Structure 1
Amino acid sequence: MGLSLAIATAFLVTLTLMPVIIRVFRSIDLLDRPDKRKIHSVSTPSLGGIAIFAGLLMALLLSVSLQELATEKYFIGGMILIFLLGVRDDLSSLLAQHKLVVQIFSAFLVVFLGDIKIGGLNGLFGVSHFPWVFDEIFTIFVIVVMTNAFNLIDGIDGLAGCIALVISSYLGWAFIQSGHYVDATFAFALAGSSIGFLLYNWHPSKVFMGDTGSMLFGFMLTSLLVKFLAFSGQAETLVSPVAISLALFVLPVYDTLRVVLIRLFTGRPPLAPDRNHIHHVLLKMGLNHAQSTLWLVGYNILIVALVTSFQQIGELWLMLIMTLMTVTIGAALDRKLMRREAARLAKIIPPEIKMSKSHTSV
């Protein structure tokens, strides 16, 4: 009953508030306007994350007892801080270092005070348990990095919401398997909010989640993932939790590493915004927002299904196969795009310019 109530409440509250947010922010002309860095062509409200947060919070209040909520107070406190940070950043952009300070403090609340830690790598590389201090620091690092990685994939209509739906639904099921129903409620509430948001964010989008939504999703999903790693040993059906965790976040992890390497290789700051994300590649190849989202989410689901189905072959083999598949497909897409761009430029440059360049080089 509690899980169904959580999904329904989060969905209905998010769905109900979304038109109000769209109307209010249009009326005060607080919109995300197109520019050379962005791919949308119409000014659009970008604080849909407010409705997502409201749906999540209401679902938790109705579905989880106050006594159980009290045990999660630091987790909820971190969630509220991240939400406020996102609202502040959407209203008036903050410097990266200022956002980082709040993100680290939010993760500190979850890890040090909420006692949510990774614990170890399930025997991968011979590591079953982390030393106490390293465990605390490493968990904070993972939460902060993955919060920002999730923020980076929010670049086209529907993508971040769909990825959040996939991850939260799987984690909800995993928590049920291990008997942690409060954490399952958190996960399914996120899933309900995702669905309510996606009905307004599917191409052509009427609203964006903004940093308010993307950082909230990233923080909550990563914190729940840390709990999943800590509790997975209690579920007989989940014997490769590290590989499953990477499979769930395969797109944010791959995309973040990819764009950072491209920026460093081209001599630009690693945090400089650009249009080199994997979803931009698909758009440049002629797919629209909906098609790009469906391809990427479909790949995410495929990887999760494969890793879950073949857990018995071992964490290391699963991670190697997953990495090889993702890097190979990504490289093939990049190569295809480069050839496409080269062919396009060859048609644009007049023959006489090509001839003059060749004579000059001689």
Structure 2
Amino acid sequence: MNTDMLLGFGFALVLTVILMPLFIPLLKRMKFGQSIREEGPQSHMKKTGTPTMGGLVFLIAIIVTTLVVALVTDLLTSEIMILLLVLFGFGLIGFLDDFIKVVLKRNLGLTSLQKLVAQIVIAVVSFFLLNSIDFDTALSIPFTSISIELSGLYVLFLIFWLVGFSNAVNLTDGLDGLVAGTASIAFAAFGVLAIFQDKMGIALFTFTVAGALIGFLVFNKYPAKVFMGDTGSLALGGALAVVSILLKQEFLLLIIGLVFVLETLSVILQVGSFKLRKKRIFKMSPIHHHFELSGWSEWKVVTVFWLVGLVAAVIVVSLEVV
């Protein structure tokens, strides 16, 4: 990691750590507390009222740090602007969802259709922006020289990828520190890949995100003083998907983001099994709740999932850079 990357990482971390203690009391005064689902694990009911929408803080830290450092180091590129647009766009969707649930007291927030349409709009806008910089619309097969040209059909893949991973990270955000830890590992891993591709602007962005998330983790680790909310999780998922696209390492996200993939698969399998067989595969989904109900402490589940994410990321990076 060179000096520019360290500057982004460190500045975002420090900015998040400084802003969060100012933001948490504000959230409490405004009664922006988390509502816990009654059908969730009973041990989570004690989290009711914990301030949420903390993702706003690290999103501000990421955007400010990326723009300032990129300008100072002459790394401000079209790719960075696309990443910031997606981060902001998906964060805005999450913010509206959180605002409706927390402030307006409508538990369901945005409807599934409203969220889907908004996510698709951002994905389509991203496709046109990528086309404006003469983007390669071929899909690369990991660890091979094979690529599949999609041309105009790439927009369909882009929609699927952004919607899928934004929702996957959102599903994973159910335990204290789980997403902050796994996402920081994933962004850092792509940061290393970006450096080896000499895509320093993308590397700056990824390490800035990782730094902001580590700063957030100080307050979000168990027992959490604040949650990121959909504001943070949707933004992180969308941005992570675009990073993999810009680096032309789309399918590597399935391994680097293995925890997010497994969490999503557990929900799909659970719902499918119950509809087809009237039987559940897991005690509860997403799968992190299954381990909780199997007797694991929340902290054990989180640390094991972090380890899974770290091992997957290290394997991918090792294979790619050798």
Using structure 2 for the length normalisation, give the TM-score.
0.84
Offset at 1:106? 1.3
- Structure 1 residue 292 and structure 2 residue 301: aligned? yes
Q: Which of 180, 184, 205 is the equivalent residue of 2:203? A: 184
Per the alignment, residue 288 of structure 2 pairs with 279
Are residues 126 and 180 of structure 1, via their aligned partners in 2, closer, same or farther at CA, if it must alter by over 3 Å? Answer: closer
Greater shift, 182-191 or 219-228, is seen at 219-228
Contact 1:10 1:59 survives alignment (8 Å): yes
Per the alignment, residue 112 of structure 2 pairs with 96
Offset at 1:218? 0.5
Offset at 1:63? 0.9
Counterparts of 1:1-362 in structure 2, within 5 Å, are 1-38=3-40, 39-42=44-47, 43-65=49-71, 68-69=75-76, 71-72=78-79, 73-92=81-100, 93-115=109-131, 119-122=138-141, 128-229=147-248, 242=251, 244-267=252-275, 275-309=284-318
Contact 1:21 1:47 survives alignment (8 Å): no
State the secondary structure of the residue aligned to 1:206. Answer: coil
- CA distance in 1 between counterparts of 2:16 and 2:117 reads 29
Contact 2:193 2:320 survives alignment (8 Å): no
- CA distance in 2 between counterparts of 1:49 and 1:249 reads 19
How many residue pairs get aligned? The number is: 296
Greater shift, 77-86 or 110-119, is seen at 110-119
Contact 1:117 1:139 survives alignment (8 Å): no
Are residues 309 and 2 of structure 1, via their aligned partners in 2, closer, same or farther at CA, if it must alter by over 3 Å? Answer: closer
Letter in 2 for 1:11: L
- CA distance in 2 between counterparts of 1:156 and 1:91 reads 21
- CA distance in 1 between counterparts of 2:87 and 2:36 reads 29
Are residues 307 and 79 of structure 1, via their aligned partners in 2, closer, same or farther at CA, if it must alter by over 3 Å? Answer: closer
Aligned-residue CA RMSD (Å): 2.4
Offset at 1:34? 3.1
Offset at 1:139? 2.0
Offset at 1:108? 1.6
State the secondary structure of the residue aligned to 2:247. Answer: helix
Contact 1:75 1:114 survives alignment (8 Å): no
Structure 1: 5+ residue stretches without partners:
231-240, 269-273, 313-362
Contact 1:49 1:212 survives alignment (8 Å): yes
Greater shift, 136-145 or 301-310, is seen at 301-310
Contact 1:3 1:63 survives alignment (8 Å): no
Letter in 2 for 1:188: F
- CA distance in 1 between counterparts of 2:136 and 2:262 reads 23
- CA distance in 2 between counterparts of 1:123 and 1:11 reads 32
Greater shift, 14-23 or 189-198, is seen at 14-23
Using structure 1 for the length normalisation, give the TM-score.
0.76
Letter in 2 for 1:255: E
- CA distance in 2 between counterparts of 1:200 and 1:169 reads 20
- CA distance in 1 between counterparts of 2:185 and 2:305 reads 12
Structure 2: 5+ residue stretches without partners:
101-108, 277-282
Are residues 69 and 136 of structure 1, via their aligned partners in 2, closer, same or farther at CA, if it must alter by over 3 Å? Answer: same
- CA distance in 2 between counterparts of 1:305 and 1:8 reads 22
State the secondary structure of the residue aligned to 1:161. Answer: helix
Are residues 205 and 288 of structure 1, via their aligned partners in 2, closer, same or farther at CA, if it must alter by over 3 Å? Answer: same
Per the alignment, residue 333 of structure 1 pairs with none
